[in-house]
Amino acid sequence: MRVNIAGCLDRCEHGPVLVIYPEAVWYTYVDRDDLDEILQRHLIDGERVERLLIKPQDAS
C-alpha cells in the first residue's frame, strides 16, 4: 500500500479521489467512514463499494 499526494488526478469535479491499482478502480469519498469502508470492503473483502465508485465514463 502506498499513500501519496497527487493533486486532483484531473477529476476535481468528483471531489477527493482514491484510486486502487493495479485494477485502476476509482473512488470518491466524503469522510473517514467512506475511506474505512473502501479499505475494508475493497482491499480486505475483495468487493467494490458501488456507491462510491467513479464510473469509467466519469473518470475519462
pLDDT band per the 50, 70, 90 thresholds, residue 8: low
| pTM summary value | 0.77
Asked if pLDDT for residue 1 goes beyond 80, the answer is no
* Distance, CA of 10 to CA of 35 (rounded, Å): 20
**CB-based contacts of 1-10 (< 8 A; 24+ apart in sequence):** 1/43
pLDDT band per the 50, 70, 90 thresholds, residue 6: confident
Say if domain 12-59 classifies as CATH 3.40.30.10: yes
Cell reading at 58 = 466519469
Residue 4 CA, chain-centre distance (Å), reads 13
pLDDT tens digits for range 16-59: 888 898 999 999 999 999 999 999 999 999 999 999 999 865 55
CA angle 26, 29, 35 (to 5 degrees): 95
